[in-house]
Amino acid sequence: MLETQNLSLRYGRHLALNGINISIAEGETVVILGANGAGKSSLLKAIAGLQKPEPGSVLTLDGTTILGTKPHLIPEAGIALVPEGRGVFGDLTVEENLLLGANPRRARTSEAERHGLIYDLFPRLAERRSQLVRTMSGGEQQMVAIGRALMSNPRFLMLDEPSLGLAPIVVTELFGALKRVKQTGVGLLLVEQNVSISLSISDRGYLMEAGRITGENSAEALKTDPAVQQAFLGGAAA
């Protein structure tokens, strides 16, 4: 179980996260829905150790605190982030990008096995393992980014707007792959503008507004929640 309690984050005077309490169980898929600027990316970055939360914030993995540990220990603990914009290395091949993700100690013992698993999840990457990533389509690059994060053998994988800028057919393919990742037992924490497709693979979701969690429910209930419908599914703010 990955859990935050009273997690707050400040950029100068701006309180971007204000007392966030969320949890993700082993193997669960959870989506965070919120308008631009609600703080969704900041939340993922704080959990990944890329931003330093305010004193009093708590982040635990199976009840053990992991906040304040060195950032490189977060992947070692089994938490991986696919950042917005992917962060892949364009001048390296698919294979080389994947190898970079195999750095945490927890990944090394099973490197060959991980490669096999990732190429099973993303057959397209197997076909193109020697291709330079910058010559690939946006959807393929997103798959490389997810594959690289999976090389660290994470227990929890966080994804920041994986569908951003992708054509609808590619988004469908990508979420098909994420469904297969989910079936491997990895917990997924997802931030997505594409509310409809993200709810379709999620077990649960949180609503976020101006740095606070304002709602929480099962994905099924959120799909028909009038507030979600109005804000995200055909409403003006989508």
CA-based R_g, the chain, Å: 17
Query: Of the two residues 81 and 102, which places its CB atom closer to ligand ATP in the complex?
Result: 81
- Yes or no: say if 67 and 59 are a contact pair by the CB < 8 Å rule: yes
Distance of closest approach, residue 6 Cβ to ligand ATP, in angstroms? 18
Work out how close the CB of 18 gets to ligand ATP at its nearest, in angstroms, rounded to a whole number: 11
User: Binding segment for ligand ATP among 8-16, 53-61, 122-130, 212-220 (CB under 6 A)?
Assistant: 8-16
φ, ψ (nearest 5 deg) of residue 59: -135, 120
Is residue 53 a contact point for ligand ATP (CB under 6 A)?
no
Binding mask 23-52 for ligand ATP (x = CB under 6 A): -----------x-xxxxxxx----------
Choose the binding region for ligand ATP from 11-19, 66-74, 137-145, 176-184 (rule: CB under 6 A). 11-19
Q: In what order do the strands lie in the sheet with 187-191?
A: 79-82, 156-160, 187-191, 29-34, 204-209, 212-218
DSSP 53: P
Decide: is 16 part of the binding site for ligand ATP (CB under 6 A): yes
Q: How many residues bind ligand ATP (CB under 6 A)?
A: 11
Q: At what angle are helices 138-150 and 168-183 packed, to 10 degrees?
A: 10
Nearest distance, CB of residue 122 and ligand ATP, angstroms:
25
Nearest of 94, 44, 52 to residue 71 by alpha carbon: 52
Residue 114, token pair as written in the block: 């991980």
Burial class (CB in 10 A: 0-12, 13-18, 19+), 217: middle
Residue (94 or 160) nearer to ligand ATP, CB: 160
- Among 192, 96, 104, CA closest to 144: 96
Tell me the closest approach of the beta carbon of residue 152 to ligand ATP, in angstroms: 23
Give the C-alpha separation, 165 to 110, whole Å. Answer: 33
Supply the minimum distance, in Å, between the C-beta of residue 186 and ligand ATP.
22
Q: How far is the CB of 191 from ligand ATP (least distance, A)?
A: 6
102 binds ligand ATP (CB under 6 A): no
- 237 contacts ligand ATP (rule: CB under 6 A): no
Q: Of residues 118-147, which lie at the interface with ligand ATP (CB under 6 A)?
A: none
What is the contact surface with ligand ATP in residues (CB under 6 A)?
11, 14, 16, 34, 36-42
